[in-house]
A and B are shown apart, each in its own frame.
Chain A
Amino acid sequence: MTSLPEKVERKMGLVIDLDTCVGCHACAVSCKEWNTQGYGAPLSDQDPYGADPTGTWLNRIHSFEIEPEDAPAQIVHFPKSCLHCDDAPCVTVCPTGASYKRVEDGIVLVNEDACMGCGLCAWACPYGARELDRAEGVMKKCTLCVDRIYNDNIPEEDRVPACVRSCPAGARHFGDLSDPGSAVSEMVRARGGMDLMAEQGTRPVNKYLPPRIRDRHATAPDTLRLADLAEPEAKGFLGWLDRALERLG
């Protein structure tokens, strides 16, 4: 049934620290590796070794540049996957009942046996978290590694999503965001964890911790005058030479 549950018992999700992420793509690679071999259809690639490779990924790492008014520009690496929204628009648009949100942990999943590949859920998602697998013809999305987190057959430290387990920088955290006492909720409170595109009304469960404000030193290079540094005004003999050469045309 593609109506959203009125209440979920827990809100399992990720907290992603944009201050610590180094943009290594390890989480994307381990996500692809784990999810291509376990739950549901494999994550296919098309023309993987050819001139125009494409493929299905559940986690993609963008890099953005922030240019503050009065400080040097800053690069922020930005992992993006399903945010397991409370008001997930991808679920209610589904015509076949393939998309659903679980009551017990709030995870948004696709029943691949019922998906007819119409793509409407991908249209409804503001975040680009759903990708239609071009080999299988069904919608793929982050499952929050539902086949790891409750899996008694693997060591306890591995019972977190593959992206969290593989992150070498400790930028990804997994936990229950409905529990105000959980470590992830603590982190969201302390660091001003934010929703992406809150104006879309999706009420995402996953939160992003904004990069910390950097120190500003008087001796820092002023990026606004880099152009001047590239062509310094020549003085003395060099200045005379410069003007003489200019006269030559």
Chain B
Amino acid sequence: MHPAPSIVVFTVFSGLGLGMVFWAGLGAGPDHGAARWWIAVLALGFSAVGGLASTRHLARPDRAWRAFSQWRSSWLSREACLMVAALGAFAIYAAGWTLGGVRVAALGWIAAGLALATVYATAMIYAQLRTVPRWSLTPTPQMFLVFAGVGGFLGVQAAAALAGAEVAAGWALPGLVLAAGVAVWWQTEAAGAGRRSAGSDIGTATGLGRLGRVRLFEPPHTGSNYLLDEMAYRVGRRRAYQVRLVAAWLGFLVPLGLALLALAFGGWLMVPALIAHVAGMLALRWLFFAEAEHVQAFYYGLR
């Protein structure tokens, strides 16, 4: 699949922003003048960056408003509705918190629940596609939720550090250890998942497999087309191992080291920890698309 920058930025930053909404909604982060502002503004800001990036992927963004209509059947539509609901609830919660200094716990929990549901819906856009075994046969929703949770926690701590407030770096450690474990698993197990198949091959795609070995003799056209540029697009698969390694280090191991150091040298280290984590997540999400193989490619003798 073609790793469009718009979707990579969208899923990483909306995951980060909604992760911050989740933790801030549950009451994480220091209840302190400037920290409230930093947390609220960064959470909404990251989510907005992600949301805006997603419209860059549309050929007709002027019709994006129609995406709120099909929540009964479409995960993409559900995601759009949940995103607006989560950010709306959090905006009210954040207004009360920053302007009035009051944390309305019930409203925060609602925003947190909606944020989790939004990340789940985002993941299901990919996980529902049987045509892409890489996404439907691996625990895509679990990965998206874990990564959003870790990013959100780091985001809240970094925002607190920027405000000069007390940082709960120690609390980041278990989350980071858990996520690093997931990343290491990803490194070893999921490396093969990209090649996993739902039983489709060029033989079932053409129905000719029972007659003998099938190969493409002549493609339908000499140039490229939308299908090849989008679904059968191949880039960087040869370097997948290295990209995943860099992503595991930047995304989890470097932030883990920085969080440990923050216990001794001060909370400001959570800011570079967040930056490293986001860089790692961008690499990992790019790979999520670049490694994914679509069954349509069988018709072109590819995979």
**Which A residues are closer than 8 A to B by beta carbons?**
1-3, 18, 23, 25, 28, 52-57, 60-69, 71, 73-76, 78, 80, 89, 92-98, 114-120, 122-128, 131-132, 134, 137-138, 194-201, 208, 210-211
Q: Which 3 A-B pairs have the closest CB atoms?
A: A117-B59, A137-B59, A68-B212
CB distance from A145 to the nearest CB of B (A): 20
Tally of B interface residues using CB under 8 Å: 59
Residue in A115, A126, A127 with the greatest tally of chain B CB atoms within 10 Å: A126
Residues of B within 8 Å of A98, CB to CB, are 66
User: Looking at chain A's contact residues, is the secondary structure mostly helix, strand, loop, or mixed?
Assistant: loop
Are the CB atoms of B207 and A75 closer together than 8 Å? no
Residues of A within 8 Å of B61, CB to CB, are 116
Q: How far is the CA of A170 from the CA of B214 in the complex (A)?
A: 25
Are the CB atoms of A128 and B227 closer together than 8 Å? yes
CB distance from A172 to the nearest CB of B (A): 16
Identify 10 residue pairs between A and B in the complex whose beta-carbon atoms are under 8 Å apart, listed by A's number. Answer: A55-B225, A62-B299, A65-B214, A76-B206, A80-B220, A93-B125, A118-B57, A126-B130, A128-B299, A210-B208
Residues of A within 8 Å of B66, CB to CB, are 95-98, 114, 116
Are the CB atoms of A54 and B207 closer together than 8 Å? no
Q: How far is the CA of A73 from the CA of B214 in the complex (A)?
A: 10
Are the CB atoms of B69 and A200 closer together than 8 Å? no
Known: A1-B73, A73-B212, A96-B69. 20 other contacts (CB 8 A): A52-B224, A62-B218, A62-B300, A63-B217, A64-B202, A64-B217, A68-B211, A71-B212, A80-B299, A89-B130, A92-B74, A114-B63, A116-B67, A117-B63, A126-B205, A126-B296, A132-B226, A198-B204, A199-B204, A210-B207
Are the CB atoms of A197 and B200 closer together than 8 Å? yes
Residues of B within 8 Å of A76, CB to CB, are 206, 208
Q: Mark B52-67, 1 if CB is under 8 A from A, else 0.
A: 0000011111111011
Residues of A within 8 Å of B69, CB to CB, are 95-97
Q: How far is the CA of A169 from the CA of B211 in the complex (A)?
A: 23
Q: Mark B268-303, 1 if CB is under 8 A from A, else 0.
A: 000000000000000000000000001110011000
Are the CB atoms of B72 and A66 closer together than 8 Å? no
Are the CB atoms of B70 and A2 closer together than 8 Å? yes
Q: How far is the CA of A2 from the CA of B213 in the complex (A)?
A: 38
CB distance from A4 to the nearest CB of B (A): 8
Instruction: Determine the residue in chain A with the shortest Cβ distance to B224.
Output: A54
Residues of B within 8 Å of A119, CB to CB, are 57, 59, 230
Cβ 8 A contact of B225, one of A96, A115, A127, A131: A131
CB distance from A55 to the nearest CB of B (A): 7
Q: A63-B218, A66-B214, A67-B213 are in contact. Are A208 and B227 (CB under 8 A)?
A: no
CB distance from B160 to the nearest CB of A (A): 36
Are the CB atoms of B131 and A196 closer together than 8 Å? no
Are the CB atoms of A67 and B125 closer together than 8 Å? no
Cβ 8 A contact of A128, one of B207, B212, B216, B231: B231
B153 CB-CB contact with A under 8 Å: no
Residues of B within 8 Å of A211, CB to CB, are 208, 211
Cβ 8 A contact of A200, one of B62, B75, B200, B215: B200
Instruction: Determine the residue in chain B with the shortest Cβ distance to A76.
Output: B208
Q: How far is the CA of A124 from the CA of B231 in the complex (A)?
A: 10
Are the CB atoms of A194 and B299 closer together than 8 Å? no
Are the CB atoms of B200 and A126 closer together than 8 Å? yes
B238 CB-CB contact with A under 8 Å: no
- B104-130 with Cβ < 8 A to chain A: 125, 128-130
Residues of A within 8 Å of B72, CB to CB, are 1, 3
Residues of B within 8 Å of A74, CB to CB, are 211-212
Residues of B within 8 Å of A75, CB to CB, are 217
Are the CB atoms of A94 and B59 closer together than 8 Å? no
Residues of A within 8 Å of B230, CB to CB, are 119, 122-123, 132
CB distance from B134 to the nearest CB of A (A): 12
Instruction: Determine the residue in chain B with the shortest Cβ distance to A127.
Output: B296
Instruction: Determine the residue in chain B with the shortest Cβ distance to A70.
Output: B212
Q: How far is the CA of A61 from the CA of B218 in the complex (A)?
A: 9
